[in-house]
A = this chain, B = another copy of it.
Amino acid sequence: MVGGGQLARMTHEAGIPLGIRFKLLSDTPQDSAAQVVSDVVIGDYRDLDTLREFARGCDVITFDHEHVPTELLRALEADGIPVRPGPDALEHAQDKGVMRARLDALGVPCPRHRIVSDPADVAAFAAEGLAEGAEGDGFPVVLKTVRGGYDGKGVWVVGSVEEAEDPFRAGVPVLAEEKVDYVRELAANVVRSPHGQAVAYPVVESQQVGGVCDTVIAPAPGLDERLALEAEQMALSIAKELGVVGHLAVELFQTRDGRVLVNELAMRPHNSGHWSMDGAITSQFANHVRAVLDLPLGDPRPRAPWTVMVNVLGGDYPDMYSAYLHCMARDPQLKIHMYGKDVKPGRKVGHVNTYGDDLDDALERARHAAGYLRGTITE
């Protein structure tokens, strides 16, 4: 696996029961996954020689992130190393312009969008929205750099042409999108294997705070069955059409008028699937490993009526360990997943899962534990 973050850490954890040998390419020995994996190579994933040396002896390569340049992945494939997901699929998770163009061609509903060239073009894009019922001057508009953004980085919500300068400073292409009038965000997670088997996890509700995922509820409460099925089918269809192998997360907007629109794609285990570690028969990490190895996939169904995941962000406590005492004593059913990362304010350093028959109870327990671990709750 290329990339030493928490996704690689949890993938290793899920791979241990299969008796497989797991090899990691990590930036530093301190990275989250490098702390717990036996076979670690330290190196730069942007360097072809490093990748080639790492890949030697591997049966298959997969990723903890989408940042490996596709031309390097094509070179590995030319060397005869299976790369899963492959570069043709991965490009859609790397470049939002490519992704939007492809989803348009497939007829997948997306927010109105186009590549824009400068602030004046943003104003023109905003004005175009008026024809489709937007009000006033068509602002706000969402601007995204087509590459490199995540967790709210590389995304701007601009209220006027004057605010539209920043995104163009980096000199990379900028995608403009309508600001969707959504009631909530959903995510449809699917896993697909090389020979085409696919499984769909229940569609979840994903609550963001400051552009960062905060809470995930599985399944999404009160979601219309037809809409849930539509979202699952959409994710399965995208996985198939794009040739995804492994886990695909399709982040969605549920609109006020009862539609789902695709927001983002991620081709790797995803924050919106962390609930599955304790809440599903087979976790997203276990199924990602199976898919990458072309093994039959495991049952993705939930084990409890409700599962709640809340991210733990770094706060004022540099030592989260001391908080374990209170959290574990308060809730013997709590599932803590910490990533071994240094605590920095706002950084994702772990998550907690709760599950049960009562959604309110599960929500309260998960939020309390995450808040206590962060230091925002002290009793």
Contacts and interface: CB of A to CB of B under 8 A. Distances in A.
Interface stretch (A46-54, A76-84, A324-332): A324-332
Contacts of A295: 324-325, 328
Contacts of A325: 295-296
A234 interface: no
A253 interface: no
Sort chain A's interface into a size bin.
35 or more
Interface string A266-278: 0000000000000
Given A13-B13, A38-B35, A303-B303, A329 B19 contact: no
A334 B335 CA distance: 22
A108 interface: no
Contact of A338 (B17, B299, B336): B17
Interface of A: 9-10, 12-13, 16-19, 21-22, 34-38, 40, 281-282, 290, 295-299, 303, 320-321, 324-325, 328-329, 332-340, 350
A271 to B, nearest CB: 16
A332 B36 contact: no
Contacts of A334: 298
Nearest to A197: B329
A37 B334 CA distance: 25
A299 B38 CA distance: 30
Given A38-B37, A38-B40, A299 B332 contact: yes
A320 B131 CA distance: 62
A40 B17 CA distance: 19
A19 B328 contact: no
Contacts of A12: 16, 36
Contacts of A290: 328
